[in-house]
Structure 1
Amino acid sequence: MTSSRLPGKVLQPIAGQPLLHYHLDHLRAAGQPVFLAITNKATDNPLADFAAQAGIPLTRGSEEDVLSRYWTCAQEHDLDIIVRVTSDCPLLDGQLIGEGIAEYIRLANPRLYLSNVLERTFPRGLDFEIFSRELLNKAFQESTLPSDREHVTPYIHQNRSGSVEFQHITRTPDASHYRLTVDTADDFELIRVLIEQYQAQYLSTSQLITVLESHPELVALNAHVEQKKA
C-alpha cells in the first residue's frame, strides 16, 4: 500500500473492482492455492481485509525483508513448491503459470528454478518464478545483502550457491517490449483502458498482445516508464 510511485495501487478500482481482484482472478486459473504475504504495518490493514473477504490465507512480516515473509508463509503452510508473483500484475496468465507448475512437477528437481523472467519474451507484468522450498530455505539462511532480502530471489537466480539448475518459459515472437505491470499512474491508465474498453480481464496472453500490436496508441501510454532497478 506504500508503493513509492503509486501508493495504494493494488486496491485502486477499475470497472468497480480493485486491481487485486483481477490479479487474484487470473492467478486462480493456475489451479493452485493462493497466499498473500504483506507487511505488518498498519498501512497494509486494507490488504488484510481484502484477504479475509476473498478467503486468502495471509502472512504478515517485515516490510524490508520480503524474503523472510516468503519463508514464513512456506513454513506456516508447509509448502514444497513456491510460485512467486507480485500483486501489481493484474493481467498475468494463470493458465501459463499452471503449465509452468506442471512442467516443474514433471522435472522433479528440487534444485530447479523455472521462470519466464531470466529469458524475457513475455510482456512485463506476466512474470512468475517457481522454485522449491529447499532453494527458498537456502536463500533465507544464506542471503545477507539487503537487496537479496527485499527482492526474494536474487540469491537463487544468480546461482550464488552454485547448485541451481534453470528452465526457461519463452514465447515466439518476443513480446517483452510491452508493459502490463502497474508501477505508475500511466501504467494504471493503460490497464484501465484495456479492461474498460477491451475486456482485457477475459483475454488470453496472445489476445492481449494482439490488442497491443493493433493499437500503438495504447502502448504509448506507458512506453516511457522505466522499471525500477533491483
Structure 2
Amino acid sequence: MRIAAIVQARMGSTRLPGKVLRPLGGVPVIQWIYERLSKCRNLDQIVVATGESAADDEFAETLKRLGIPVFRGSEHDVLDRYYRAARAIRADAVVRITGDCPLIDPAVVDAVVARFNEGQPELRYVSNINPPTYPDGLDVEVFTIEALYQAWRQSEWASEREHVTPYMRNRPDLFPQDHIRCEKDYSHYRWTLDEERDWSFLTALVSLASDKGWEPREVSFPEWLSLIESHSDLTGRNEGILRNEGEMKSLAADRKVK
C-alpha cells in the first residue's frame, strides 16, 4: 500500500496571512513540517497541496525552490484538492496534515499509520483526534483512497468540502474507523499556528530549545513536553483560543453547495 502525506497549506489564512512562510527559528514553517514528516518511517511520499489562486503563486515557487513537491488545486474546496492530489500521486491511502502544525511529530504520525496498517483491509479511517488527547498541532488522520473518493463524490455541505474529513468522521457505519490516544491527556496544550499569540508561543519555545543546544527541528514530542512543563509560563501566551475554531465557524455558517 502506497501511503502519502498531503499537507494542505496556502498563503491566504484569514487570521494569520502568510503563516506558512514565516521563518520559525530562521526556517519557513512549511519547511519545518516537510522536514519533520520526512523522518516518518511509514510514509512513501509527502506533497504540499495549495491553491490555484495568484496569491499562492509565490508560495508554490518557494516550495519548488525548497525541493518540496507541490500540487495546486481548488482554493476553497479543499476536499477536491485532496482527492485530485491523491490521484495525481497514485496514493492508496492519505495522511492528512495541515500547514499550521510546525511541531508535527514523526513518531506520532507513524503510530497512527501503524494502527491503520494493522487494521487493513477493514479500517478506512484512523486518527488521533477522536477524542483529542494530543496537543493541538499534532493532529493526524489517515484514510483510504476509496474513502476519500466516496467523501469527494457525496459531501454536499461547505463545511465538509472545506475540512476534508467530516463526512468520513461522522459516518463510522460507512467508514470503519479506529483512534489512538496518548497515555495522558495533553489536549489542553496548543501547539498550532493560527493567531499572533500562537506565533509568540512557538517562537519562545523554539528559542528555549536552541538555548539548550537542541536542534529545534529535531526535537521530539516528549522533549517539547519536558521543555514546556519546566517553563509553565509559556502556555499563557496562547491560552483561551478554541480548538478547531475554524471548523466550528464553518458549521455555524454551513450551506449546501452541491
TM-score interval, normalised by the smaller of the two chains: over 0.9
1:18, distance to aligned residue in structure 2 (A): 1.0
For residue 118 of structure 1, what is the amino acid of its counterpart? Answer: N
Give the aligned partner of residue 220 of structure 2.
204
Q: TM-score, normalised to structure 1's length? A: 0.94
Give the alignment of 1:206-225 within 5 angstroms. 206-225=222-241
Give the Å deviation of 1:36.
0.8
1:57 matched residue in structure 2? 69
Query: Mapping of 1:57-206 within 5 angstroms?
Result: 57-109=69-121, 111-159=123-171, 162-199=173-210, 200-206=216-222
Residues 81 and 110 of structure 1, relative CA distance in 2, 3 Å threshold:
farther
TM-score for the superposition, normalised by structure 2: 0.84
Moved more, 38-47 or 108-117: 108-117
Question: What fraction of aligned residue pairs are identical, expressed as a percent?
Answer: 34
- Write the distance in 1 (CA, Å) between the matches of 2:160 and 2:70: 22
> SS of 2:126's equivalent?
strand
SS class of match (2:95): strand
Is 1:59–1:73's contact at 8 Å kept on the other side of the alignment? yes
Q: Secondary structure at the match of 2:55?
A: helix
Preserved contact between residue 30 and residue 96 of structure 1 (Cα < 8 Å): no
SS in 2 for 1:53: helix
**Large movers: runs of 4+ above 4 Å:** none
SS in 1 for 2:125: strand
Distance 1:224 1:48 in 2: 33
How far residue 226 of structure 1 moved from its aligned partner, in angstroms, is: 2.5
Give the C-alpha shift of residue 224 in structure 1: 2.3
Q: Which amino acid aligns with 2:209?
A: Y
Deviates more, 1:53-62 or 1:164-173: 53-62
Q: Number of residues paired by the alignment?
A: 229
Distance in 2 of aligned mates of 1:188 and 1:71 = 31
Q: Which runs of 5+ in 1 are unaligned?
A: none
* 2:7 counterpart residue number: none
Structure 2: unaligned runs, 5 residues or longer: 1-10, 211-215, 248-258
- Deviation per residue, 1:171-196 (Å, 9 max, x gap): 12111100000000110111111112
Q: Is the 8 A contact 1:100 1:169 kept in 2?
A: yes
Whole-angstrom distance in 2 between the partners of 1:86 and 1:68: 15
Using the alignment, how far apart are the partners of 1:51 and 1:202 within structure 2? 21
Q: Report the aligned-residue RMSD.
A: 1.5
